[in-house]
Amino acid sequence: MYTQAMDTMAREGGAKLEKVLSADEQHLQERFDARIDAGDFIEAKDWMPDNYRKTLLRQISQHAHSEIVGMLPEGNWIARAPTLKRKAILLAKVQDEGGHGLYLYAAAETLGQSRDQMVEALHSGKAKYSSIFNYPTLTWADIGTVGWLVDGAAIMNQVPICRCSYAPYARAMIRICREESFHQRQGFDSLLVMMKEGTDAQRAMVQDAVDRWWWPCLMMFGPPDDQSPNNAQGMRWGIKRVSNDTLRQKFIDATVDQAKLLGVTLPDPDLKWNEERQAHDFGTIDWSEFWRVVAGDGPNNRERLAMRVKAWDDGAWVREAALAHAAKQSTQKEAA
């Protein structure tokens, strides 16, 4: 789903952007820049500057990790879904997220890092994933709200990545975005049923979930543009097409009407239409909370990582069996 973490590197030193180039490299660099300026797509075998490769690797692997960790808060509701229909939908959604992770790991591998290296970086805490998944899903209404708001924010973030200059990432994103719209719709539909046909207690449950998820969702777009030094380079390279603040504003403007349709209140007393800007004004985001969660101190950081590592360890026998099977098949082929 989720790309916010790219910007967090600014606080961690980021990549060094300047280095002395040889004449050959200078020529390749100029050709690369011209292709980017012309709106060309870069393929895995094409020459690319080291920092372009590193930036993409960081972003795509973080994105892949987010899809995989994002399965956890929803997965724990599959057995508790209220009806067979909702269970089937949730199961399909969580499987989609697993598939997104795999497309993205494959896209990142084209840049020269193995899946094992990426998984190791996640499990050791070196690699980040979207901080939104460090919040708990306390009730069934949280599952609808995650679909509506978290997947909704993810779509807003991800549609521009379908035009990312790195072609394998852009291609993966086209498939992913189609599935993300189903995720958003199923979440909205689930909340609509509770709001229109449910009990007062169910309506209160939806409002409570929206109150808890709204602000963390706004943080999914990353820090404000003036605090995101990586933004400009990402834009220059055609990796990032639209700035954090622009995407956040678009998300808010689109969500206000949907909230009205649902009959829920977005928890921001300063949220109001600004005729002059033709956009909604909104309250101040608590960025200290964002940085705290990114640094590992959110409500569920430790639990999520521990679950992920356990799932990996528990699955070791499956990987071993698959390798043994592949080895047996290739021996049989050689013998034939």
Residues contacting 164, CB < 8 A, separation 6+: 170, 173, 238, 239, 241
Please tell me whether residue 7 binds Fe ion under the rule CB under 5 A. Answer: no
Nearest alpha-carbon partner for 122 in 319, 290, 312, 305: 305
Find the shortest distance in angstroms from Cβ 114 to Fe ion.
22
**Choice between 42 and 141, CB closer to Fe ion:** 141
How crowded is residue 11: how many other Cβ atoms within 10 Å of its Cβ? 13
Find the shortest distance in angstroms from Cβ 333 to Fe ion.
37
Find the shortest distance in angstroms from Cβ 47 to Fe ion.
31
Find the shortest distance in angstroms from Cβ 176 to Fe ion.
6
DSSP string, 14-31: ---------HHHHHHHHH
Length of the chain in residues, anyone?
A: 336
**Choice between 97 and 109, CB closer to Fe ion:** 97
**Choice between 178 and 272, CB closer to Fe ion:** 178
Residues contacting 127, CB < 8 A, separation 6+: 61, 62, 65, 118, 121
Find the shortest distance in angstroms from Cβ 156 to Fe ion.
12
Of the listed pieces 63-71, 219-227, 242-250, 328-336, which binds Fe ion according to CB under 5 A? 63-71
**Choice between 1 and 90, CB closer to Fe ion:** 1
Name residue 334's amino acid: E
Q: Which residue's structure tokens are 């639209």? A: 242
Indicate which single residue of 183, 203, 212, 280 sits in contact with Fe ion (rule: CB under 5 A).
Answer: 183
- Scan residues 99-138 and list those touching Fe ion (CB under 5 A): 100
Find the shortest distance in angstroms from Cβ 240 to Fe ion.
18
Nearest alpha-carbon partner for 53 in 89, 72, 28: 28
Please tell me whether residue 1 binds Fe ion under the rule CB under 5 A. Answer: yes
Tokens describing residue 160:
């521009």
Contact criterion met (CB below 8 Å) for 309 and 70 = no
Write down the H helix ranges in 224-265.
Answer: 230-236, 244-262
> Partners of 272 in the beta sheet?
281
- Scan residues 20-59 and list those touching Fe ion (CB under 5 A): none
Q: x/- binding map, residues 145-164, to Fe ion, per CB under 5 A?
A: ------x-------------
**Choice between 100 and 304, CB closer to Fe ion:** 100
How many residues lie near Fe ion (CB under 5 A)?
A: 7
Please tell me whether residue 212 binds Fe ion under the rule CB under 5 A. Answer: no
Name residue 50's amino acid: D
Q: x/- binding map, residues 67-106, to Fe ion, per CB under 5 A?
A: x-----------------------------x--x------
Q: What is the DSSP letter of 276?
A: T
Binding residues for Fe ion (CB under 5 A): 1, 67, 97, 100, 151, 180, 183
